[in-house]
């Protein structure tokens, strides 16, 4: 029965191919747009999540503050107000999990005939914890390396490739400026940071080595920034308050005076980026859904025309024994076939264009099973919803009137 009906619906659609295809095109475009937008939106969300995971979670960054001398104000970090002992004191605060004082800079590195300019970060082993950045071969440097300012380094993937090519860098000696350093280990791949910089183009060395032997320091023990990680995201505001309190005390800042440091919550910034991406992908999906709706209305429109055109046929069918539900099913099936077939083509088109977008622009796209299922079920629902009214109209025709229809 259903099979015979399917055959008839197929024949009816074939009778006016151009019209059927144009009707279907509405669905194709609608579903294609939804799939493409969802792929792009989910890709963007995934990229943001990756970035956040790469940055490390629950992070604060403390920057040395500005000073004002004779009306001239230096920018953040212009005056090195933070010290290693500040960092040690912060480490004692409840809720703080890892603390890493940082002394960054850029320098030329040399190995044999190769040289490369990269970012050098002088820090403590806590940095690897704070940024959840594992060492994948070799070993990390230790607190004793920091105490004795040894010339050892951990090397990021990009820097390693540029300096050592295919060679294994672990155990090799290279030079930062003029000083020889031994590679202790290589760092896991991090990818792009929030600012688009390649985080793997970097070398980590002990803080003291950076201060004393590579960049020099105005005041021994002072640092440009300190990275602080808390145990959970919930206690971040608490830790923020106690950290500010502690630093104001240590820096002897009186009531009403400005902080001489900057405290930034990196996780909050990342979260808001993730949130805005989520909203954007929802918005894209919503806009695409409108075209799906328009496609559905197109189906209803054509089905209504089809019912009118085939009034006589409906009358004949009723005269030879079709029940109301037979007629209803016949027209409903046509609408469903159009929308499901349109959906299928739209799905392929959406996936193809998402892959093409990825190929051409490098945009991250994710085609998830759930988005395919959603698109399919929405299309079937649209078919039933917009096909039902015309089908019911057909089923409720008066057979005598219908037979008389010219």
Partner 1 sequence: MVDSAMRDAVIRIEGLHKSYQTSAGLFPALKEVNLSIIAAEFVAIMGPSGSGKSTFMNILGCLDAPTSGRYILDGRSVAELSKDELALLRNRTIGFVFQGFNLLPRMTLLDNVALPLIYCGIEHKERQQRAQELLAKVGLADKTASLPNQISGGQQQRVAIARALVNHPRLILADEPTGNLDSHTSEEIMTLFEELNSEGITIVLVTHEEDIARHAQRKVHFFDGRIVSDQVTPRQEATA
Closer to partner 1 at the Cβ: 11 or 254? 11
Least distance in Å: CB of 297 to partner 1? 27
Least distance in Å: CB of 344 to partner 1? 25
Among residue numbers 125 through 184, which ones bind partner 1 (CB under 8 A)? Answer: none
Closer to partner 1 at the Cβ: 157 or 317? 317
Closer to partner 1 at the Cβ: 167 or 398? 398
Assign 3-class secondary structure to 113-135: CEEEEEEEEEECCHHHHHCCCCE
Q: CA 39 → CA 282, 286, 397, distances in Å?
A: 11, 14, 45
**Residue found by looking up tokens 């002992």 in the block:** 85
Least distance in Å: CB of 327 to partner 1? 10
Closer to partner 1 at the Cβ: 168 or 324? 324
Closer to partner 1 at the Cβ: 49 or 325? 325
Q: Which two tokens stand for residue 299?
A: 């189906």
Among residue numbers 1 through 20, which ones bind partner 1 (CB under 8 A)? Answer: 1, 3-5, 8, 11-12, 15
* Integer Cα distance of 140 and 158 in angstroms: 18
Among 312, 352, 359, 368, binds partner 1 (CB under 8 A): 312
Among 320, 361, 362, 369, binds partner 1 (CB under 8 A): 320
Assign 3-class secondary structure to 172-208: CEEEECCEEEEEEEEECCCCECCCCCECCCEEEEEHH
State the binding string over 44-73 for partner 1 (x if CB under 8 A, else -). Answer: ------------------------------
State the binding string over 335-374 for partner 1 (x if CB under 8 A, else -). Answer: ----------------------------------------
Closer to partner 1 at the Cβ: 103 or 310? 310
Q: At what angle do helices 236-250 and 84-91 cross, to 10 degrees?
A: 140
- Please say whether the beta carbons of 181 and 153 come within 8 A: yes
Q: CA 46 → CA 50, 161, 197, 285, 365, distances in Å?
A: 6, 27, 18, 16, 9
Give the interface segment with partner 1, choosing from 46-54, 264-272, 308-316, 368-376 (CB under 8 A).
308-316
**Residue found by looking up tokens 């920091």 in the block:** 146
Give the interface segment with partner 1, choosing from 153-161, 283-291, 323-331, 346-354 (CB under 8 A).
323-331
Give the interface segment with partner 1, choosing from 35-43, 117-125, 312-320, 338-346 (CB under 8 A).
312-320
**Is 313 a residue that touches partner 1 (CB under 8 A)?**
yes
Among 317, 382, 383, 386, binds partner 1 (CB under 8 A): 317
Among 21, 25, 316, 374, binds partner 1 (CB under 8 A): 316
Closer to partner 1 at the Cβ: 104 or 399? 399
CA-wise closest residue to 109 among 121, 123, 124: 121
Among 71, 75, 256, 321, binds partner 1 (CB under 8 A): 321
Closer to partner 1 at the Cβ: 221 or 399? 399
**Residue found by looking up tokens 């046929």 in the block:** 313
Closer to partner 1 at the Cβ: 13 or 170? 13
Number of residues that bind partner 1 (CB under 8 A): 24
Chain residues that interact with partner 1, rule: CB under 8 A: 1, 3-5, 8, 11-12, 15, 312-313, 316-326, 399-400, 403
């Amino acid at each position: 029965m259903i099979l015979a009906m399917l055959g008839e619906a197929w024949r009816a659609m074939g009778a006016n191919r151009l019209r059927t295809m144009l009707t279907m095109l509405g669905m194709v475009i609608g579903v294609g747009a939804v799939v493409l937008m969802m792929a792009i939106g989910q890709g963007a969300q995934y990229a943001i999540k990756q970035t956040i995971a790469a940055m490390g979670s629950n992070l604060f960054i403390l920057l040395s503050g500005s000073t004002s001398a004779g009306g001239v104000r230096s920018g953040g970090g212009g005056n090195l107000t933070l010290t290693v002992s500040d960092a040690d004191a912060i480490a004692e605060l409840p809720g703080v999990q890892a603390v890493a004082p940082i002394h960054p800079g850029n320098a030329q590195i040399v190995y044999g005939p190769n040289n490369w300019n990269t970012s050098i970060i002088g820090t403590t082993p806590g940095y690897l914890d704070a940024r959840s950045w594992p060492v994948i071969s070799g070993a990390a440097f230790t607190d004793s390396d920091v105490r004795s300012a040894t010339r050892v380094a951990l090397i990021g993937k990009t820097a390693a490739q540029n300096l050592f090519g295919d060679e294994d860098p672990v155990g090799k000696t290279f030079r930062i400026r003029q000083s020889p350093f031994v590679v202790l280990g290589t760092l896991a791949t991090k990818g792009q940071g929030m600012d688009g910089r390649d985080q793997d183009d970097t070398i980590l060395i002990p803080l003291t080595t950076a201060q004393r032997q590579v960049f020099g320091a105005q005041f021994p023990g002072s640092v440009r920034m300190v990275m602080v990680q808390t145990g959970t995201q919930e206690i971040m505001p608490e830790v923020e308050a106690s950290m500010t309190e502690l630093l104001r005390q240590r820096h002897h800042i009186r009531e009403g005076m400005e902080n001489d440091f900057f405290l930034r919550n990196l996780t909050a910034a990342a979260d808001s980026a993730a949130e805005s991406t989520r909203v954007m992908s929802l918005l894209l999906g919503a806009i695409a859904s409108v075209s799906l709706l328009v496609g559905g209305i197109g189906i209803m429109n054509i089905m209504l025309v089809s019912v009118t055109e085939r009034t006589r046929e409906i009358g004949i069918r009723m005269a030879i024994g079709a029940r109301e539900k037979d007629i209803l099913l016949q027209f409903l099936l046509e609408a469903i076939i159009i929308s499901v077939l349109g959906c299928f083509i739209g799905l392929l088109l959406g996936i193809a264009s998402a892959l093409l977008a990825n190929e051409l622009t490098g945009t991250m796209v994710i085609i998830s099973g759930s988005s395919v299922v959603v698109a399919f079920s929405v299309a079937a629902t649209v078919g039933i919803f917009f096909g039902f009214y015309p089908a019911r109209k057909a089923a409720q025709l008066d057979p005598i009137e219908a037979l008389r229809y010219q």
